[in-house]
Amino acid sequence: MTIKRVLVSGGKNFARGGAVSAATVVIMTVTLSIIGSLIFLSALLSFTLNTIKNKVDVSVYFVTTASEPEILAVKDQLEKLPQVANVAYTSSNDALAAFRARHANDQLTLQALDELGGNPLDASLEIRAKDPSGYESIVHFLEASPTLSAEGASLVDRINYAQNKEIIDRLSLAIQATREIGLVVIVLFALASILIAFATVRLAIYTAKDEISVMRLVGASNMYIQWPFIITGVITGVTAAIVVLLILWPATWYAGSKTTSWFGGFDLANYYATHFQIIFSILMLSGILLGAIASILAIRRYLKV
């Protein structure tokens, strides 16, 4: 019965706040919306990074004098590495045929190629690692154990991983920077939410000062007097979280088709549906914490029991 009374009293305090309570919900809704947006943005950037990583491979190009048996011997060595998933061999003739197919409508390029009178393209090996983190060790293996021809010259002309690694590193830095900036923005809006919720609870304490005096006279415990105001802050946070969750559903559904085509298959609506429990928990817990912290601060400052 006591718990019910505390909850009812907290609800009354929230209702008495009127415009102040509404303003608190609005600001806290903005804060929780930023938290929700950061969740989706982080998921999107991580998806993009993983997509790029999965498309990255190490291409090893061989000098034109390298024979096919020598290249296949290198292929056998690479396939024995535990971090290598597969190695595909492309001969110089296959590379030339693929080049001609790609430039079938570019007569100028094909004419220039014909004038060379030979095949300028190198044979290559495309190496796919089991995990993107394994590429550096594969490249290190190739550089530390140079493959030499019978005459002692290196068979490897170049390795193309450096440029791909730079792209991955830049995107990783962008993800980290986005998370850090988002965290700063969340902290700022969280402080604003706490301050306004603080004002709401302060108003509730002031409005209920006569009731508080009566409760003191009849011997009500400190917890019985304080908890309704904590509940007021919690109600504010829960209300804001529910509003954000309701807004996210149509917003992600509307943006889902666009993000799928823009970002290579990432569907916001599907992500929201499949991760709803996690998003619900984060937003609800954040709202409750913000409201409770603001209430506790207001109680310590204005409610002397």
**Six token digits for residue 53:** 């990583």
Judge if 196 and 283 occupy the same domain.
yes
* Token digits of residue 125: 């090996």
Least confident residue range of 144-148, 156-160, 221-225, 281-285: 144-148
Name the nearest CA neighbour of 197 among 298, 282, 281, 300. Answer: 298
The residues facing 84 across adjacent strands are: 129
Both 181 and 232 in one domain: the answer is yes
* Amino acid in the structure at residue 258: K
135 CB burial (10 A radius; 0-12, 13-18, 19+): buried
Q: What is the pLDDT of residue 303?
A: 67
Element at 136 (helix H, strand E): helix 135-144
Tokens of 171: 């995107």
**Is the domain of 147 the same as that of 179?**
no
Distance CA 150, CA 130 (A): 32
Let me know whether 205 and 294 are in one domain. Answer: yes
What confidence category does residue 1 fall into, taking pLDDT thresholds of 50, 70 and 90?
very low
Q: Residues 74, 106: one domain?
A: yes
Report the CATH number at residue 118. 3.30.70.3040
DSSP state of 62: E
Q: Nearest-CA neighbor of 201 among 304, 289, 303? A: 303
Q: Are residues 178 and 280 in the same domain?
A: yes
Show which of 98, 124, 154 is a domain's final residue: 154
Q: Print the domain residue range for 188.
A: 2-52+168-302
Tens of pLDDT along 91-102?
Answer: 888 877 887 888
Q: How far apart are CA 285 and CA 238, in angstroms?
A: 8
- Which of 130, 154, 178 lies at the terminal end of a domain, its last residue? 154
Domain presence at residue 105: yes
Q: What is the pLDDT of residues 144-187, one digit of tens each?
A: 766 655 565 677 888 887 666 777 677 667 777 777 887 787 78
Please indicate whether residue 53 or residue 64 has the higher confidence score (pLDDT): 64
Task: Look at residues 132, 154, 176 and tell me which one is the last residue of a structural domain.
Answer: 154
Asked whether residue 76 carries a pLDDT value surpassing 80, the answer given is: yes
Token pair of 176 as six digits: 């980290």
Count up the domains in the chain and report the number. 2
Rounded mean pLDDT of 66-70? Answer: 83
Mean per-residue pLDDT, 193-211 = 71
Looking at the fold, whether 184 and 221 belong to one and the same domain comes out as yes
Question: In this predicted model, what pLDDT tens digit does every residue of 104-116 receive, in sequence order?
Answer: 777 777 777 677 6
State whether 209 and 294 are in the same domain: yes
What would the mean pLDDT of 39-63 be, rounded to a whole number?
78
**Rounded mean pLDDT, 187-192:** 78
Domain assignment present for residue 159? The answer is no
Is residue 120 located within the same domain as residue 14?
A: no
pLDDT level of residue 66 (50, 70, 90 thresholds): confident
162 within domain boundaries: no
Q: What is the mean pLDDT of the chain?
A: 78
Rank 52-66, 72-86, 109-123 by mean pLDDT and report only the highest.
72-86
Instruction: Calculate what percentage of the chain has a pLDDT beyond 90.
Output: 6
Q: Which of residues 281 and 105 earns the better pLDDT score?
A: 281
The pLDDT, as a whole number, for residue 195 is 77
